[in-house]
Structure 1
């Protein structure tokens, strides 16, 4: 098997359209361009996550073994974070705990529900059509 290409966040950010759509998931980069129309959750889900690390979104929805098999065919590289992208280590001199800021209200729970519902509906439709 050929050696996989390394992609940085800057590399990924150049692939955010239907004509060239890459996602990073669990440290691997996938070219989803040819899969956009086949994605059971719809193209919008992929386009929204295009050009970045989509690991959290991918796992939040919960994908089947079949989906993971399809992904293996789309693998094009490995995702490498730059040192500037890595979180900074906590300073050992700051042992005083900081107060936790109040959370802003968000609709992420609703979005996750809608995404999960879209994936389930897509899977059902896909199974019916097969």
Structure 2
């Protein structure tokens, strides 16, 4: 088709999202793949699910052959105005408290928090018993 001069916005391309009218954005170019839907080896659902967004990653992840890439020229209808495509944001994991892989030190602290007061109590009771027994 060869639509080198035409520039489309994402909104314009997104309107073409049905089996009767299907456009894709791949590598900054817009393709009308409506006539190819039935012939696509992966099925038409794959192509329809890639409408309304930049489908470059989807296309590249599959690993299309050189002949498939050459075939794209006949479906080319124009270019995408890249300023209309939202920027991809890098995933940032949520901040979480530090994870202590060595639980031994944590266990020892909790054990001491239990045993030290118990030892002090035992010592106090022992001293009291001892002093009572030595006074009488």
Normalising TM by the smaller chain, what interval?
A: 0.5 to 0.7
1:100 aligns with 2:101: no
Q: Find the aligned partners of 2:60 and 2:88 in 1 and give their Cα distance.
A: 21
1:52 CA drift (Å)? 2.1
Would you say the 8 A contact 1:21–1:51 is kept in 2? no
SS of 1:52 mapped into structure 2: coil
C-alpha separation in 1, matches of 2:75 and 2:85: 28
Deviation by residue 1:15-67 (Cα, 9 ceiling, x = unmatched)? 00011100000000000000000001111100111232100000011100010
Q: Which runs of 5+ in 2 are unaligned?
A: 96-136
Larger radius of gyration: 2
> Match of 2:7?
6
Q: Please give the alpha-carbon distance, in whole angstroms, between the structure 1 residues aligned to 2:83 and 2:36.
A: 28
Q: How far did 1:8 drift?
A: 1.1
Question: Do 2:22 and 2:34's aligned partners in 1 also have CA atoms closer than 8 Å?
Answer: yes
Give the alignment's Cα RMSD to 1 decimal. Answer: 2.3
Structure 1 unaligned residues grouped into runs of 5+:
89-98, 103-130
**Equivalents in 2 of 1:87, 1:57: separation in Å?**
14
Question: C-alpha displacement at 1:79, in angstroms?
Answer: 1.0
Higher helix residue share: 2
Q: Which residue of 2 aligns with 1:51?
A: 52
- d(CA) in 1 for partners of 2:16 and 2:51? 7
Q: Equivalents in 2 of 1:44, 1:87: separation in Å?
A: 24
Aligned length: 92
